[in-house]
Structure 1
Protein backbone atom coordinates (compact mmCIF):
# COMPACT_ATOMS: atom_id res chain seq x y z
CA UNK A 1 0.00 0.00 0.00
CA UNK A 2 2.84 2.46 0.85
CA UNK A 3 4.42 1.91 -2.56
CA UNK A 4 1.09 2.64 -4.26
CA UNK A 5 0.68 5.86 -2.27
CA UNK A 6 4.21 6.89 -3.22
CA UNK A 7 3.48 6.20 -6.88
CA UNK A 8 0.30 8.27 -6.74
CA UNK A 9 2.17 11.17 -5.11
CA UNK A 10 4.89 10.95 -7.78
CA UNK A 11 2.30 10.97 -10.58
CA UNK A 12 0.53 13.97 -9.03
CA UNK A 13 3.85 15.83 -8.73
CA UNK A 14 4.57 15.20 -12.41
CA UNK A 15 1.06 16.29 -13.40
CA UNK A 16 1.24 19.54 -11.42
CA UNK A 17 4.67 20.35 -12.80
CA UNK A 18 3.54 19.51 -16.35
CA UNK A 19 0.45 21.71 -16.06
CA UNK A 20 2.44 24.57 -14.54
CA UNK A 21 5.12 24.36 -17.23
CA UNK A 22 2.84 24.11 -20.25
CA UNK A 23 1.95 27.83 -20.47
CA UNK A 24 3.87 29.49 -23.31
CA UNK A 25 4.76 33.20 -23.56
CA UNK A 26 6.64 34.74 -26.48
CA UNK A 27 7.46 31.26 -27.77
CA UNK A 28 9.04 30.22 -24.44
CA UNK A 29 7.60 27.97 -21.77
CA UNK A 30 6.47 29.97 -18.74
CA UNK A 31 9.24 31.03 -16.39
CA UNK A 32 12.24 30.80 -18.74
CA UNK A 33 14.56 33.78 -18.89
CA UNK A 34 17.50 34.54 -21.11
CA UNK A 35 20.72 35.11 -19.20
CA UNK A 36 23.36 36.97 -21.18
CA UNK A 37 24.54 34.82 -24.07
CA UNK A 38 24.46 31.64 -21.98
CA UNK A 39 20.93 30.50 -22.79
CA UNK A 40 17.42 30.24 -21.37
CA UNK A 41 16.97 28.91 -17.84
CA UNK A 42 14.21 28.26 -15.36
CA UNK A 43 14.63 27.48 -11.68
CA UNK A 44 11.99 25.17 -10.23
CA UNK A 45 11.68 25.73 -6.49
CA UNK A 46 9.58 22.59 -5.97
CA UNK A 47 11.69 19.82 -4.41
CA UNK A 48 11.47 16.55 -6.33
CA UNK A 49 13.79 13.60 -6.90
CA UNK A 50 16.36 13.69 -9.71
CA UNK A 51 14.34 11.59 -12.16
CA UNK A 52 11.19 13.70 -11.74
CA UNK A 53 13.33 16.81 -12.27
CA UNK A 54 14.83 15.29 -15.43
CA UNK A 55 11.39 14.35 -16.77
CA UNK A 56 9.96 17.79 -15.96
CA UNK A 57 12.71 19.46 -17.96
CA UNK A 58 12.11 17.06 -20.87
CA UNK A 59 8.39 17.93 -20.76
CA UNK A 60 9.43 21.56 -21.24
CA UNK A 61 11.67 20.66 -24.20
CA UNK A 62 14.66 21.34 -21.97
CA UNK A 63 17.19 19.37 -19.97
CA UNK A 64 18.53 19.50 -16.44
CA UNK A 65 21.24 22.13 -16.50
CA UNK A 66 24.69 20.97 -17.56
CA UNK A 67 27.49 23.33 -16.58
CA UNK A 68 29.69 24.25 -19.55
CA UNK A 69 31.71 27.17 -18.17
CA UNK A 70 32.68 29.04 -15.03
CA UNK A 71 30.31 31.82 -16.10
CA UNK A 72 27.41 29.35 -16.30
CA UNK A 73 28.30 27.86 -12.91
CA UNK A 74 28.31 31.35 -11.39
CA UNK A 75 24.96 32.13 -13.04
CA UNK A 76 23.38 29.00 -11.56
CA UNK A 77 24.87 29.95 -8.18
CA UNK A 78 23.34 33.42 -8.51
CA UNK A 79 19.94 31.94 -9.41
CA UNK A 80 20.14 29.66 -6.37
CA UNK A 81 21.10 32.47 -4.01
CA UNK A 82 18.29 34.68 -5.33
CA UNK A 83 15.82 31.95 -4.29
CA UNK A 84 17.63 31.07 -1.06
CA UNK A 85 18.33 27.53 -2.34
CA UNK A 86 21.51 25.65 -1.38
CA UNK A 87 21.31 22.75 -3.85
CA UNK A 88 19.72 22.04 -7.23
CA UNK A 89 19.65 18.90 -9.33
CA UNK A 90 21.90 19.06 -12.40
CA UNK A 91 22.02 17.05 -15.61
CA UNK A 92 24.65 14.41 -14.98
CA UNK A 93 24.90 11.00 -13.33
CA UNK A 94 27.00 7.85 -13.02
CA UNK A 95 24.09 5.41 -13.03
CA UNK A 96 25.66 3.09 -15.63
CA UNK A 97 29.19 2.80 -14.23
CA UNK A 98 30.24 4.13 -10.83
CA UNK A 99 32.61 7.06 -11.20
CA UNK A 100 31.94 7.58 -14.93
CA UNK A 101 29.67 10.61 -15.09
CA UNK A 102 27.60 11.39 -18.19
CA UNK A 103 25.27 14.24 -18.99
CA UNK A 104 21.57 13.56 -19.46
CA UNK A 105 22.12 13.92 -23.20
CA UNK A 106 24.88 11.29 -23.30
CA UNK A 107 28.14 13.29 -23.29
CA UNK A 108 30.90 12.34 -20.88
CA UNK A 109 30.91 14.92 -18.11
CA UNK A 110 34.64 15.26 -18.74
CA UNK A 111 33.79 17.01 -22.04
CA UNK A 112 32.05 19.84 -20.15
CA UNK A 113 33.29 22.28 -17.53
CA UNK A 114 33.88 20.48 -14.21
CA UNK A 115 34.30 22.27 -10.90
CA UNK A 116 33.62 19.77 -8.12
CA UNK A 117 33.15 20.98 -4.57
CA UNK A 118 36.05 19.94 -2.31
CA UNK A 119 35.88 16.23 -1.51
CA UNK A 120 33.42 15.50 -4.32
CA UNK A 121 32.37 13.27 -5.87
CA UNK A 122 32.40 11.00 -2.84
CA UNK A 123 29.57 8.49 -3.44
CA UNK A 124 28.57 8.84 0.23
CA UNK A 125 26.97 5.62 1.55
CA UNK A 126 27.58 4.01 -1.85
CA UNK A 127 24.43 5.41 -3.45
CA UNK A 128 25.23 8.90 -4.75
CA UNK A 129 24.76 8.50 -8.49
CA UNK A 130 23.07 11.74 -9.54
CA UNK A 131 24.46 15.22 -9.94
CA UNK A 132 23.69 18.57 -8.45
CA UNK A 133 25.09 22.03 -7.93
CA UNK A 134 25.68 22.85 -4.29
CA UNK A 135 26.62 26.14 -2.65
CA UNK A 136 29.46 25.94 -0.13
CA UNK A 137 30.44 29.25 1.45
CA UNK A 138 28.21 30.89 -1.21
CA UNK A 139 30.32 29.37 -4.00
CA UNK A 140 28.69 26.91 -6.41
CA UNK A 141 30.31 23.59 -7.28
CA UNK A 142 29.35 20.16 -8.52
CA UNK A 143 28.31 17.44 -6.09
CA UNK A 144 26.99 13.89 -6.26
CA UNK A 145 23.92 12.86 -4.28
CA UNK A 146 21.44 10.00 -4.02
CA UNK A 147 18.97 10.15 -6.90
CA UNK A 148 15.99 9.77 -4.56
CA UNK A 149 16.81 12.89 -2.56
CA UNK A 150 14.48 15.77 -3.31
CA UNK A 151 15.88 19.10 -4.40
CA UNK A 152 14.90 22.13 -6.44
CA UNK A 153 16.27 22.09 -9.98
CA UNK A 154 17.22 24.19 -12.98
CA UNK A 155 16.16 23.44 -16.56
CA UNK A 156 17.95 24.81 -19.61
CA UNK A 157 16.20 25.00 -22.96
CA UNK A 158 17.67 22.79 -25.67
Structure 2
Protein backbone atom coordinates (compact mmCIF):
# COMPACT_ATOMS: atom_id res chain seq x y z
CA UNK A 1 0.00 0.00 0.00
CA UNK A 2 2.80 2.37 0.92
CA UNK A 3 4.59 1.76 -2.43
CA UNK A 4 1.34 2.46 -4.34
CA UNK A 5 1.00 5.74 -2.47
CA UNK A 6 4.54 6.72 -3.46
CA UNK A 7 3.84 5.91 -7.13
CA UNK A 8 0.60 7.88 -7.14
CA UNK A 9 2.26 10.83 -5.42
CA UNK A 10 5.12 10.77 -7.95
CA UNK A 11 2.74 10.70 -10.92
CA UNK A 12 0.76 13.60 -9.49
CA UNK A 13 3.92 15.51 -8.61
CA UNK A 14 5.43 15.17 -12.09
CA UNK A 15 2.11 15.98 -13.72
CA UNK A 16 1.89 19.14 -11.63
CA UNK A 17 5.42 20.03 -12.75
CA UNK A 18 4.65 19.66 -16.45
CA UNK A 19 1.67 22.00 -16.28
CA UNK A 20 3.15 24.51 -13.86
CA UNK A 21 4.45 26.96 -16.45
CA UNK A 22 1.30 26.68 -18.54
CA UNK A 23 -0.62 28.04 -15.55
CA UNK A 24 1.91 30.88 -15.29
CA UNK A 25 1.81 31.43 -19.07
CA UNK A 26 5.58 31.66 -19.21
CA UNK A 27 8.01 30.33 -21.84
CA UNK A 28 10.96 32.73 -22.05
CA UNK A 29 11.57 36.31 -20.96
CA UNK A 30 11.43 37.51 -24.57
CA UNK A 31 7.97 36.00 -25.24
CA UNK A 32 4.65 37.74 -24.42
CA UNK A 33 1.41 35.91 -23.70
CA UNK A 34 -1.69 36.89 -25.70
CA UNK A 35 -4.90 35.27 -24.56
CA UNK A 36 -6.61 35.60 -27.95
CA UNK A 37 -4.18 33.08 -29.44
CA UNK A 38 -3.59 31.01 -26.29
CA UNK A 39 0.12 31.36 -26.94
CA UNK A 40 3.30 33.34 -26.37
CA UNK A 41 4.84 35.52 -29.06
CA UNK A 42 8.10 37.25 -29.85
CA UNK A 43 9.11 39.53 -32.72
CA UNK A 44 12.38 38.54 -34.36
CA UNK A 45 13.77 41.78 -35.72
CA UNK A 46 16.68 40.34 -37.70
CA UNK A 47 15.51 39.78 -41.26
CA UNK A 48 15.83 36.22 -42.57
CA UNK A 49 14.56 34.17 -45.48
CA UNK A 50 11.34 32.24 -44.96
CA UNK A 51 13.24 28.98 -44.54
CA UNK A 52 15.66 30.55 -42.05
CA UNK A 53 12.77 32.09 -40.09
CA UNK A 54 10.97 28.74 -39.90
CA UNK A 55 14.14 27.02 -38.68
CA UNK A 56 14.94 29.78 -36.19
CA UNK A 57 11.55 29.51 -34.48
CA UNK A 58 11.81 25.71 -34.40
CA UNK A 59 15.20 25.91 -32.73
CA UNK A 60 13.68 28.06 -29.98
CA UNK A 61 11.04 25.38 -29.45
CA UNK A 62 8.37 27.52 -31.10
CA UNK A 63 6.95 27.84 -34.63
CA UNK A 64 6.74 30.48 -37.34
CA UNK A 65 3.54 32.38 -36.57
CA UNK A 66 0.45 32.54 -38.75
CA UNK A 67 -2.90 33.96 -37.57
CA UNK A 68 -5.44 31.25 -36.79
CA UNK A 69 -8.46 33.56 -36.74
CA UNK A 70 -9.58 37.19 -36.70
CA UNK A 71 -9.26 37.56 -32.92
CA UNK A 72 -5.66 36.32 -32.87
CA UNK A 73 -4.82 38.37 -35.95
CA UNK A 74 -6.03 41.60 -34.34
CA UNK A 75 -4.25 40.86 -31.04
CA UNK A 76 -0.91 40.03 -32.68
CA UNK A 77 -1.22 42.98 -35.06
CA UNK A 78 -1.68 45.29 -32.06
CA UNK A 79 1.36 43.65 -30.42
CA UNK A 80 3.37 44.21 -33.63
CA UNK A 81 2.34 47.87 -33.97
CA UNK A 82 3.12 48.53 -30.32
CA UNK A 83 6.66 47.13 -30.35
CA UNK A 84 7.84 47.19 -33.98
CA UNK A 85 5.58 49.45 -36.03
CA UNK A 86 8.45 50.41 -38.36
CA UNK A 87 8.19 47.05 -40.14
CA UNK A 88 5.78 47.13 -43.11
CA UNK A 89 5.52 43.34 -43.45
CA UNK A 90 6.65 40.11 -41.83
CA UNK A 91 6.88 36.50 -42.89
CA UNK A 92 4.17 34.15 -41.64
CA UNK A 93 4.02 30.36 -41.58
CA UNK A 94 2.18 29.86 -44.88
CA UNK A 95 3.38 28.70 -48.30
CA UNK A 96 2.46 26.74 -51.43
CA UNK A 97 5.79 24.95 -51.57
CA UNK A 98 4.19 21.48 -51.56
CA UNK A 99 1.57 22.07 -54.27
CA UNK A 100 1.78 25.21 -56.39
CA UNK A 101 -1.28 27.37 -55.95
CA UNK A 102 -2.47 25.59 -52.79
CA UNK A 103 -1.34 27.66 -49.83
CA UNK A 104 -1.27 25.87 -46.50
CA UNK A 105 0.08 26.64 -43.03
CA UNK A 106 3.29 25.11 -41.68
CA UNK A 107 1.20 22.56 -39.76
CA UNK A 108 -0.75 21.54 -42.86
CA UNK A 109 -3.99 23.49 -42.52
CA UNK A 110 -5.56 24.79 -45.76
CA UNK A 111 -6.00 28.54 -45.70
CA UNK A 112 -9.80 28.39 -45.73
CA UNK A 113 -9.55 27.03 -42.14
CA UNK A 114 -7.47 29.96 -40.83
CA UNK A 115 -7.19 33.72 -41.22
CA UNK A 116 -6.90 34.34 -44.98
CA UNK A 117 -7.47 38.00 -45.83
CA UNK A 118 -5.37 38.62 -48.94
CA UNK A 119 -4.19 41.91 -50.35
CA UNK A 120 -6.43 42.73 -53.37
CA UNK A 121 -5.30 40.81 -56.46
CA UNK A 122 -3.15 38.36 -54.52
CA UNK A 123 -1.81 35.77 -54.59
CA UNK A 124 -0.60 36.63 -58.08
CA UNK A 125 2.63 34.59 -58.44
CA UNK A 126 4.47 37.47 -60.09
CA UNK A 127 7.66 36.08 -61.63
CA UNK A 128 6.55 32.53 -60.88
CA UNK A 129 8.48 32.18 -57.63
CA UNK A 130 6.27 33.79 -54.99
CA UNK A 131 5.62 30.68 -52.90
CA UNK A 132 5.76 32.16 -49.38
CA UNK A 133 3.56 34.65 -47.54
CA UNK A 134 4.09 37.91 -45.70
CA UNK A 135 1.62 39.70 -43.46
CA UNK A 136 1.31 43.41 -44.17
CA UNK A 137 0.91 46.06 -41.50
CA UNK A 138 -2.60 46.58 -42.89
CA UNK A 139 -3.47 43.07 -41.73
CA UNK A 140 -3.60 41.62 -45.24
CA UNK A 141 -1.59 38.72 -46.66
CA UNK A 142 0.74 38.95 -49.64
CA UNK A 143 2.62 36.29 -51.61
CA UNK A 144 6.37 36.79 -51.97
CA UNK A 145 9.59 34.98 -52.75
CA UNK A 146 10.77 32.65 -49.99
CA UNK A 147 14.30 33.97 -50.55
CA UNK A 148 13.43 37.54 -49.66
CA UNK A 149 14.40 38.56 -46.13
CA UNK A 150 11.90 39.91 -43.62
CA UNK A 151 11.41 40.00 -39.89
CA UNK A 152 8.95 37.52 -38.41
CA UNK A 153 7.11 36.39 -35.29
CA UNK A 154 7.62 33.12 -33.41
CA UNK A 155 4.75 31.57 -31.46
CA UNK A 156 4.80 29.06 -28.61
CA UNK A 157 1.39 27.54 -27.90
CA UNK A 158 0.38 26.87 -24.31
CA UNK A 159 -0.55 23.34 -25.32
CA UNK A 160 3.03 22.59 -26.38
CA UNK A 161 4.65 24.16 -23.33
CA UNK A 162 6.60 21.86 -21.02
CA UNK A 163 9.04 22.86 -18.29
CA UNK A 164 12.35 21.35 -17.26
CA UNK A 165 12.24 22.13 -13.55
CA UNK A 166 15.66 20.76 -12.73
CA UNK A 167 17.16 23.13 -15.29
CA UNK A 168 14.56 25.89 -14.87
CA UNK A 169 14.04 26.21 -18.62
CA UNK A 170 11.53 25.14 -21.30
CA UNK A 171 13.97 22.81 -23.07
CA UNK A 172 13.43 19.23 -21.98
CA UNK A 173 16.57 17.87 -23.67
CA UNK A 174 18.96 19.53 -21.19
CA UNK A 175 20.37 17.26 -18.47
CA UNK A 176 21.06 18.51 -14.95
CA UNK A 177 24.26 17.52 -13.14
CA UNK A 178 24.15 18.11 -9.41
CA UNK A 179 27.94 18.07 -8.96
CA UNK A 180 28.49 21.05 -11.26
CA UNK A 181 25.16 22.81 -10.77
CA UNK A 182 24.81 23.02 -14.55
CA UNK A 183 22.55 21.69 -17.25
CA UNK A 184 24.01 20.41 -20.53
CA UNK A 185 22.90 19.50 -24.02
CA UNK A 186 24.97 17.80 -26.71
CA UNK A 187 24.08 19.22 -30.13
CA UNK A 188 24.66 16.79 -32.98
CA UNK A 189 24.26 19.12 -35.94
CA UNK A 190 27.74 19.92 -37.32
CA UNK A 191 28.52 23.63 -36.95
CA UNK A 192 31.43 26.01 -36.85
CA UNK A 193 32.47 27.40 -33.46
CA UNK A 194 30.85 30.74 -34.34
CA UNK A 195 27.60 29.01 -35.33
CA UNK A 196 27.65 26.85 -32.21
CA UNK A 197 28.02 29.89 -29.96
CA UNK A 198 25.02 31.51 -31.70
CA UNK A 199 23.00 28.30 -31.44
CA UNK A 200 23.50 28.12 -27.67
CA UNK A 201 22.57 31.79 -27.46
CA UNK A 202 19.28 31.00 -29.25
CA UNK A 203 18.44 28.71 -26.32
CA UNK A 204 19.56 31.36 -23.79
CA UNK A 205 22.51 29.17 -22.82
CA UNK A 206 26.28 29.22 -23.46
CA UNK A 207 28.90 27.00 -25.01
CA UNK A 208 30.11 24.70 -22.24
CA UNK A 209 33.36 25.40 -20.40
CA UNK A 210 35.17 22.64 -18.50
CA UNK A 211 36.36 23.78 -15.09
CA UNK A 212 37.59 20.53 -13.55
CA UNK A 213 38.67 17.03 -14.52
CA UNK A 214 35.50 15.70 -12.90
CA UNK A 215 33.36 17.90 -15.12
CA UNK A 216 35.29 16.71 -18.18
CA UNK A 217 34.66 13.11 -17.16
CA UNK A 218 30.95 13.80 -16.78
CA UNK A 219 30.81 15.33 -20.26
CA UNK A 220 32.51 12.27 -21.75
CA UNK A 221 29.76 10.12 -20.23
CA UNK A 222 27.11 12.48 -21.56
CA UNK A 223 28.67 12.28 -25.03
CA UNK A 224 28.72 8.49 -24.87
CA UNK A 225 25.01 8.40 -24.00
CA UNK A 226 24.01 10.76 -26.84
CA UNK A 227 22.95 9.03 -30.08
CA UNK A 228 24.91 10.25 -33.11
CA UNK A 229 22.73 10.67 -36.22
CA UNK A 230 23.91 9.51 -39.59
CA UNK A 231 24.91 12.41 -41.82
CA UNK A 232 26.66 12.76 -45.15
CA UNK A 233 28.07 16.10 -44.02
CA UNK A 234 31.84 16.22 -43.64
CA UNK A 235 32.67 17.22 -40.07
CA UNK A 236 35.39 16.68 -37.46
CA UNK A 237 34.32 13.55 -35.62
CA UNK A 238 35.16 13.10 -31.96
CA UNK A 239 35.56 16.84 -31.33
CA UNK A 240 33.05 19.13 -29.59
CA UNK A 241 33.15 22.94 -29.63
CA UNK A 242 33.56 24.47 -26.18
CA UNK A 243 33.04 27.94 -24.76
CA UNK A 244 36.50 29.50 -24.75
CA UNK A 245 38.58 31.34 -27.32
CA UNK A 246 41.64 33.44 -28.02
CA UNK A 247 40.18 35.40 -30.92
CA UNK A 248 41.70 38.67 -29.65
CA UNK A 249 45.05 36.93 -29.12
CA UNK A 250 45.26 38.24 -25.57
CA UNK A 251 44.91 34.88 -23.83
CA UNK A 252 42.12 32.33 -23.45
CA UNK A 253 38.77 33.83 -22.45
CA UNK A 254 35.36 32.51 -21.54
CA UNK A 255 32.99 32.98 -24.48
CA UNK A 256 30.32 34.32 -22.12
CA UNK A 257 30.08 38.11 -21.79
CA UNK A 258 32.07 39.92 -20.40
CA UNK A 259 34.53 37.21 -21.52
CA UNK A 260 36.65 36.84 -18.37
CA UNK A 261 40.13 35.29 -18.75
CA UNK A 262 40.48 31.55 -18.20
CA UNK A 263 43.26 29.43 -16.78
CA UNK A 264 43.14 25.69 -17.44
CA UNK A 265 45.15 23.13 -15.52
CA UNK A 266 47.72 21.46 -17.83
CA UNK A 267 46.17 18.02 -17.31
CA UNK A 268 42.93 19.23 -18.93
CA UNK A 269 44.69 19.72 -22.27
CA UNK A 270 45.47 16.99 -24.75
CA UNK A 271 49.19 16.29 -24.42
CA UNK A 272 49.31 18.29 -21.14
CA UNK A 273 50.16 21.55 -22.84
CA UNK A 274 48.31 24.55 -24.30
CA UNK A 275 48.50 24.42 -28.11
CA UNK A 276 49.70 27.45 -30.03
CA UNK A 277 49.02 28.44 -33.61
CA UNK A 278 46.21 29.75 -35.80
CA UNK A 279 43.42 27.77 -34.16
CA UNK A 280 41.92 30.27 -31.74
CA UNK A 281 38.69 28.62 -30.57
CA UNK A 282 38.14 25.97 -27.93
CA UNK A 283 37.12 22.35 -28.30
CA UNK A 284 37.14 19.07 -26.42
CA UNK A 285 37.93 15.56 -27.59
CA UNK A 286 35.38 12.82 -26.87
CA UNK A 287 37.70 11.66 -24.05
CA UNK A 288 37.40 14.98 -22.18
CA UNK A 289 40.76 16.54 -23.13
CA UNK A 290 40.81 20.10 -24.43
CA UNK A 291 42.07 21.17 -27.83
CA UNK A 292 41.67 24.07 -30.26
CA UNK A 293 39.98 24.47 -33.65
CA UNK A 294 39.58 27.06 -36.40
CA UNK A 295 36.69 29.33 -35.38
CA UNK A 296 35.00 29.66 -38.77
CA UNK A 297 36.17 26.55 -40.60
CA UNK A 298 35.98 23.46 -38.40
CA UNK A 299 32.57 21.75 -38.39
CA UNK A 300 31.81 19.60 -35.36
CA UNK A 301 29.24 18.85 -32.69
CA UNK A 302 29.05 21.07 -29.60
CA UNK A 303 27.79 21.25 -26.03
CA UNK A 304 25.66 24.01 -24.51
CA UNK A 305 25.41 24.60 -20.78
CA UNK A 306 23.50 26.70 -18.29
CA UNK A 307 24.30 27.37 -14.65
CA UNK A 308 21.06 26.95 -12.75
CA UNK A 309 19.45 27.34 -9.39
CA UNK A 310 16.93 24.45 -9.49
CA UNK A 311 13.36 25.68 -9.28
CA UNK A 312 10.69 23.89 -7.30
CA UNK A 313 6.96 24.36 -7.83
CA UNK A 314 4.96 26.53 -5.48
With the length of structure 1 as denominator, give the TM-score of the two structures: 0.76
**Structure 1 segments (4+ residues) deviating >4 Å:** none
Structure 1 runs not aligned, ≥5 long? 1-25
- Report the 3-state secondary structure (helix = DSSP H, G, I; strand = E; otherwise coil) of the residue aligned with 1:140: coil
Matches within 5 A, 1:93-104: 93-104=95-106
Partner of 1:23 in structure 2?
none
Q: Answer yes or no: is 1:63 the counterpart of 2:63.
A: yes
- Report the 3-state secondary structure (helix = DSSP H, G, I; strand = E; otherwise coil) of the residue aligned with 1:74: helix
Return the alpha-carbon distance in structure 1 between the equivalents of residues 36 and 79 of structure 2: 16
Q: How many Å apart are 1:80 and its aligned residue?
A: 3.1
Q: How many Å apart are 1:78 and its aligned residue?
A: 2.3
- Residues 36 and 71 of structure 2 are in contact (CA less than 8 Å); yes or no, is this contact kept in structure 1? no
RMSD across aligned positions (CA) = 1.6
Count the aligned residue pairs: 130
With the length of structure 2 as denominator, give the TM-score of the two structures: 0.39
- Residues 48 and 149 of structure 2 are in contact (CA less than 8 Å); yes or no, is this contact kept in structure 1? yes
Q: Answer yes or no: is 1:114 the counterpart of 2:116.
A: yes
Partner of 2:31 in structure 1?
32
Return the alpha-carbon distance in structure 2 between the equivalents of residues 37 and 88 of structure 1: 20
Partner of 2:49 in structure 1?
49
Structure 2 runs not aligned, ≥5 long? 1-24, 158-314
| CA deviation string 1:67-95 (max 9, x = no partner) | 11112222332233231111111001001
- Residues 34 and 40 of structure 1 are in contact (CA less than 8 Å); yes or no, is this contact kept in structure 2? yes
Return the alpha-carbon distance in structure 1 between the equivalents of residues 28 and 60 of structure 2: 7
- Report the 3-state secondary structure (helix = DSSP H, G, I; strand = E; otherwise coil) of the residue aligned with 2:68: coil
Q: How many Å apart are 1:108 and its aligned residue?
A: 1.6
Which structure is larger by alpha-carbon Rg, 1 or 2? Answer: 2
The structure with higher relative contact order (CA 8 Å, sep 6+) is 1
- Residues 36 and 75 of structure 2 are in contact (CA less than 8 Å); yes or no, is this contact kept in structure 1? no
- Residues 130 and 147 of structure 1 are in contact (CA less than 8 Å); yes or no, is this contact kept in structure 2? yes
Return the alpha-carbon distance in structure 1 between the equivalents of residues 125 and 74 of structure 2: 24
Q: How many Å apart are 1:128 and its aligned residue?
A: 0.4
- Residues 29 and 60 of structure 1 are in contact (CA less than 8 Å); yes or no, is this contact kept in structure 2? no
Partner of 2:81 in structure 1?
81
Partner of 2:247 in structure 1?
none
